[in-house]
Amino acid sequence: MMQLDSPNSNEELLNGGSEEGTPRVNLKQIAAGFLRHWWLVLVLPLLGLGLGWSLSRKLPRQYAASAVLQIDPGKNILSMEVVDEINMKDEAEVNNLAQRSTSRPVLLRAIRTQRYHFNTEWIGQASPGSEEAEAAVLNRLQPMVASAVRKGTKFVDVKASGEQSAFVAELANAVAQAAIEEMEADRGESNEEAAELLVREAERLRTRLKESELSLQAYKAENDAISLDEKKDLVLTTLKSIGEQYLQASARRLQLETELEACKKGDLSEVELLSLPTVANHPKVAATMADISRLNGEMDVMRERYKSKHPKYVALERQIQSADDRLKTFLTEVVALLESTLQGVRSLELKLASQLKERENEALELEKLAVNYNSLRREMETDSAVFQSVLARLKEVDVMQSQDRPVLRFYQSAEAPKAPFSPNIPLILGGSAVGGLALAVALVMGLVMIDSKIRTVADAEQHFQLPILGVVGDEEDAAVSAPSGSSEGGEPKEAKVKRRRSYYYRQGNQESFRTLRNMVSLLGRKDATRFILITSAIPEEGKTFCSANLAGSYAAQGTPTLIVDADLRRPALARHYPSDKDTVGLTDVLLGHVELAAAVRPADSSGCLYVLSSGSRVPNPGELLGNENHLSRFFKALQETGFERVVFDSAPILPVSDTLLLSRLVGTVLMVAACNKTPIAATQSALKRLKAVDVKVSGFILNRFRAHSISGYYYSSYYYRGYYGETQKPVLESA
């Protein structure tokens, strides 16, 4: 049998499955939030557009005009602070020159040229033409003027901005002309000051250079350092050569020691002795080996011509034997030979080590002399270089004083602009709309984050970790006419009343409860799902509606079904199954006033659906349901009846404890949660209470589900609507 809910589902919920107060928002929830609050996404950008348009209408119009200056690329400009020329190819230096074109002295020159300091509208209470008037006009014009270098060019744009088109062009041209004049005046003064400074500096450096040369010459004479560099190079070359020879001698000694040790052991054959490099390279061994090789070659020729008894053949054999004997004799003396050679190599190594030490000491002495020598020489070279540089600058100043070409020259005059550059209406409107949209998105996201209600199937599954056994669509309450007393003339009058949802009100809900019926049947054995209790966390979630429809769904397939109104405090099942006011019911059965068979009545004409109402009102329903004897007798009577399914419409869990008393005696407990109404925290609290009394919830019924919700159940209503047709009548009508 298929088991839908995990045995540990409630454990996962209550022990870390989904923490209360920590909602996990997914994309489906966000999309559903945007569908619910679509008007925010529409209204706020439109409101932003309106505010942006209103702001753009109130902002003053600003005009801008630019005069263009060109920097002469053939000029060198002296900077008095560092007594050095400014490289016009250096971007930083060019930017510095551009900033000088709108400096305070330049603006003051322009003010005096255009006589702005006589304008009574600008100078306020100051006397026309006075320094106070110039300062007032300067403070007014400084924010209106700026300059910048065009990137990658030698052009300087002098820009003026303001509310008057003609005036900004006039101001830009005046400032540009004043910059040219001010630069020329500054250059003349700078050249004269630079010339005087360079002359004094040249005399000082000449004296210092002479002192440096004398100090270096005295040091050479005192330490015999006339050819210090040549001596140093020679010593280093010799030191390198001796070092290489010493390394070779050390390597040769190690080789001989290794070979000698191997020979002293006496276990080497003639072939192994001849493989030793020292033995193989010895002149006697080499000569003997060459003779043996040559004689063996002649023997090969002799064997082809003569027989072994021939005198020449015999003589050649004797020569070969003699050579072999000489070689063996030499090999018997190989130890003495290696010891003699090793002694010579050791002597050579000691001699080279001594020479290497002497050359190192000599090199250290030369290094000590070279430190002071190099210091004195660098000082002399530095003084000489600075002196030559000052002489070159002095010549340049003389040349520049004879030239009249300006550093800056007028390239293009400013013209009066025809259209303002500010405010930028498209930018303001676009920014306002984007800001409104961003605010709308932020508000919607905030509403989604703080939303504590169940909206979709995904919400319920995520927070409760229990299967959703059924999804019931939402239906608008219908207003119908019902008698409500008499009018003034005695005739009955009609009043608008609300009709609650009844079972099989729509074809889509019929199929929803068929699905719920089948899912409950798959929960376990038939005896485990015979008694079904339907409850909710809080009132008004539709548990009575779901109970009535589930019972009707069982009855529709011919299953004898009893529905019990177990909500003794606010019984609502009578609204679905009208009856006499004094009908006996559950309370009467529990109190023993009537038998169960007498209290049960048919709910419709099908003969399969029966109802047990709540019965007479009692003052203490909690104590009545808490009496174990009453409940045991009642459930024993239910067991003996022929009803295959018994559906209990129970009270909400959080307001009262009645459901907790009943839930321990039934096999299947279903929770109803209303979409867009039930708080998640309330349902979680209800699940905790059920767990406290060892009651396991089998699954959820998601009620009042909206068809447009972002969920996998979106397509179900359209599927069944197309299958059954819009106008087909329901199988069962409400009682």
pLDDT in the model for residue 467: 85
**Extents of the domains making up the chain:** 9-14+456-724, 25-59+423-450, 63-203+396-412, 230-387
Would you say the C-alpha torsion 674, 680, 685, 688 has a positive or negative sign?
Answer: positive
Report the alpha-carbon distance of residue 240 to residue 356 in Å, rounded: 9
Per CATH, which fold does 9-14+456-724 belong to? Rossmann fold (3.40.50)
At 36 the pLDDT is: 75
| 512 neighbors 628 (Cβ within 8 angstroms) | no
Tens of pLDDT, residue by residue over 693-725, are: 888 888 888 888 775 544 444 444 444 444 444
pLDDT for 387: 76
pTM: 0.45
Say which amino acid occupies 78: L
**Rg (alpha carbons) of the chain, rounded to whole number:** 57
pLDDT score, position 563 = 92
Residue 4: what pLDDT? 36
Tokens 């087909």 correspond to: 728
Low-confidence ranges of the chain (pLDDT < 50): 1-23, 75-86, 476-507, 709-735
Query: Taking a C-beta distance cutoff of 8 angstroms, is the pair 722, 507 a contact?
Result: no
Q: What confidence score (pLDDT) does residue 398 get?
A: 66
Tell me which DSSP letter residue 540 carries: S
Q: What is the pLDDT of residue 3?
A: 36
Give CA separation, 493 vs 479, 486, 497, 581, in Å.
15, 5, 13, 23
Is 639:612 a contact under the CB 8 Å cutoff?
Answer: no
Reduced 3-state DSSP string for 193-228: HHHHHHHHHHHHHHHHHHHHHHHHHHHHHHHCCCCH
Name the nearest CA neighbour of 463 among 189, 679, 301.
679
CB 691, CB 669: distance < 8 Å = no
Q: pLDDT for 476-495, tens place per residue?
A: 433 333 333 333 334 444 33
665 vs 538: CA distance, rounded Å? 21
CA distance 154 to 156: 7
Q: What pLDDT is stored for residue 646 in this prediction?
A: 92
Cβ atoms of 601 and 735 within 8 Å: the answer is no
H or E element that contains 527: none
Q: How far is 596 from 638, CA to CA, in rounded Å?
A: 8
Distance CA 592, CA 483 (A): 38
Confidence (pLDDT) at 730: 36
Instruction: Give residue-wise pLDDT tens across range 622-639.
Output: 888 888 888 888 899 888
Residue 213 is predicted with a pLDDT of 76
pLDDT at 477: 38
Q: Supply the pLDDT for residue 670.
A: 92
Contacts (Cβ under 8 Å, ≥6 apart) of 133: 117, 118, 122, 123, 126, 127
Q: Among 170, 191, 154, which residue's Cα sits nearest to residue 67?
A: 170
What per-residue confidence (pLDDT) applies to 89? 62
- Bridge partners of 703, per DSSP, are 674
Q: CB of 696 within 8 A of CB of 663? A: no
**Separate counts of helices (H) and strands (E) for the chain:** 25, 16
